[in-house]
Chains A and B, each alone.
Chain A
């Protein structure tokens, strides 16, 4: 899967989540989307999502945009995290 395809898939997934919450009572819609993504999306998925949102790609539902303010933005992947923190003893 190319980078684009994977971005496209994440947008599709975010839109699916937004579609569900769009049918819910208005007060909890954006927070529902955000909390769902915070709870279940691994940081690199959220990072890719923000890459797309920041670029302003097409096809993102407005509710996703609205929710994005509440989605935890992962820190930039500048450095590979090489920590090998297996404990030596318990």
Chain B
């Protein structure tokens, strides 16, 4: 094992197709036009000394180390800023260049601390490397005089010296080590797109400054770490590297947070994780990351992790630690008893969108083959199930149509019901980069999300619709495009069913669907909407990106269809730069859906009633499969309350916190006789569990995750599971205890079974993934290289299907008792229910959920910023603190749901999408009033949580 080394070519690759041949140090090399001499040299195997250049950012030409001589040209141009030219003859090492470089290094080192031995960058310092490369032997200027290095010069205070900024929980800024190469500033601008850093002062006073001379934590910095990664010295250093030292080996793995699925090098020392560094070859993230993926992995070693299996008879009892064998046998006996007593259909399970494909596959296999029913569901039920249904109807397959690289060729972007800079930050950065290059943006969101106006990015249109009116707005966009003749007739005639298009076109053209007619209830001014429609239809490559603000509505599936209609009508499907792009929430929610986690379909989205598909699995598994769809999560809970559903195996999912209408969820769980929770922590659902099986983290197992672009990425084990077993091993043991003869020795064997049974995965194997890095399904005989873009040349279903999308107002309406609309979302630093991120230093940014309320609504209610308020709906009430902001419109309030004590889902109702039962999280009628403190429910709940975390013989665990 050794470190995975990546070559730094110094400047980004050129996209040109024109080859240029030149000679560097006597070697002939051919590179694309626009390539820098520096990059061309590196490709020829010649490393030109450099400090300010790195291939993640554009050339800057400030360090004056990378100078070269070019025959026939005067002077010594910097190789990073000089593009290659045909027949150019370059010399990278001459007497003149050597002298200049040594002189430059001498100046750098004359103002740099010489504490190399105790410096955190020792072993990973480009300044040190360059001193060696240029043969620096002496610093003639000495180290006295003006400097940034010492706090005091001969006893007098040194005004140039600035103390270390340790405000960020994950990295330090030590100005004394800064060489002002501006790599951090440029990474913040070009890679992350936040513009939090600048160089203040000039000449010798030039310094890196977060914001306007602020501490990192107080500045706009989003802690993505791109600056730390870019820094060539110890100026910006991970605190973990300072604490541990330099890593000695690494493995490429995949982030376990959001659906972007960033590739990282997990850099290790022994079994200790030193740091996570984004992998430049990672095709989702291209070397970038966010604060969660790079830094927020501390939960993996958090003291709250439960490492031994536990059982209790009643949920009022303390937990009792037991052996794994006792736990398996207890679950098997209980599940069989329940099935005997209440019927085969009385138990079920939930697969985890945080676990690997292989683990998810096994859980659904356990349920279908072992439980003998189809009562399996996954958290996609509460997020993107409408995407599956809607896109399946329109296109014939449910997945997003593009890869993330596609955004680089997009001209007009619609972002609807998504907040990429918070929810999918690395995609957000890639989108912002494209917008800075001139692409146009249309934001459709009740809230003024950051993308609407952020440094160097401004949306051409923001349509601030009322929550719940997505269908009306999307249909009105189509109305404008059709009635103004802006649709792509050629595309539609070729690729879609023309008569269905005509039917749909007549439908959307009705006056009732026009922006003037819908303005009164959508709140979107008609002229704005018309402008946005014209821009999208005529602005070039148009792409639609959307999130849970689309799906989590009574009409979630209808909105997805409306999105598909819009993409087809404008001819924006089937090539780079366009498409319909659902931004998936969890790391492997795409994969968990692919793996047959839904109660009505087997792996590869094949309906359970299809005899041929069932036969494939029946032969493979040696069982007969039930041909009826099973229960979805909300149906399981309904059946539990009703008394016909009594046992559940929940892997890596906290339904009590994440699912709507908490009181209904808790009533359902409380009505069950055997609730088995398989998780890292005693999560909220575990309050109602009878058996707890300790889970393992993504660092502790092998497997694959599939991200939002259908990319199957490897997850690699870098440390032993603290609990002893990877999750797939636990499921296997449980299956064995239930009488199933499973003998997988490694997750690769599970993937082989998936490939053998699922046509879209036919050519996927660990060997193949090791060879190519990652692959986007379908990957089979027809698409051996995988499928970056789908529906090229034609739709999966044959002809694209236009579907009428009639707006139906949700039953959840405001009235005198509940006059405001609550909508929910997430924030950059926290992830989902927060079980992981709350157990990291990320709480520095978001320690509690706040209720965003417009100043007008706040004033009417006598609420000041930061006041405790009571938030009530017909489902329940809770309390949290207010945040007064005009990001939300009057009449709309907003909160996140990252903290269990907020209990935001006590408020949400049991209304759901008509097609999929995806809950309507995004619209709840509420009232807000001043409050003195926690509600009775919160008090009772905290008490229950405390009691249900007691473990016999142990001190009470602290949250």
Contacts and interface: CB of A to CB of B under 8 A. Distances in A.
B803 interface: yes
Contact of B340 (A36, A40, A82, A88): A82
A90 B370 contact: no
A85 B372 contact: yes
A88 B630 contact: no
Interface residues of B, number: 55
Contacts of A44: 345, 631, 639, 644
Nearest to B637: A1
A80 B336 CA distance: 14
Contact of A90 (B339, B622, B632): B622
Nearest to A45: B635
Contacts of B739: 86-88
A13 B632 CA distance: 13
A89 B622 contact: yes
Contacts of B741: 87-90
Given A20-B915, A39-B629, A42-B635, A87 B369 contact: yes
A19 interface: yes
* Listed residue (B370, B503, B915) with the most chain A CB atoms within 10 angstroms of its CB: B915
Contact of B343 (A24, A42, A81): A81
A36 B915 contact: yes
A83 B344 contact: yes
Contacts of A42: 345, 374-375, 599, 628-632, 635
B914 A83 contact: no
B346 to A, nearest CB: 9
Contacts of B623: 85-87, 90
B495 interface: no
A37 to B, nearest CB: 10
Given A42-B629, A43-B628, A86 B370 contact: yes
A77 B622 CA distance: 27
A83 B372 contact: yes
Interface residues of A, number: 34
A13 to B, nearest CB: 7
B522 interface: no
A56 interface: no
Contacts of A6: 638, 641-642
Interface string A42-69: 1111000000000000000000000000
A87 B741 CA distance: 8
A80 B839 CA distance: 45
Among A36, A42, A45, A81, find the residue whose CB has the most chain B CB atoms closer than 10 A. Answer: A42
Contacts of A38: 609
Interface string B894-933: 0000000000000000101011110000000000000000
A25 to B, nearest CB: 6
A86 B622 CA distance: 10
B792 interface: no
A9 interface: yes
A41 B336 contact: no
Interface of A: 1, 3, 6, 9, 13, 16-17, 19-20, 22-25, 36, 38-45, 74, 80-90
Given A20-B806, A44-B631, 14 more contacts: A6-B638, A13-B917, A17-B915, A19-B914, A20-B557, A40-B629, A42-B345, A42-B628, A44-B644, A74-B628, A83-B372, A87-B369, A87-B739, A89-B622
10 contacts: A9-B638, A19-B808, A40-B632, A42-B632, A44-B345, A44-B631, A80-B341, A84-B344, A86-B740, A90-B621
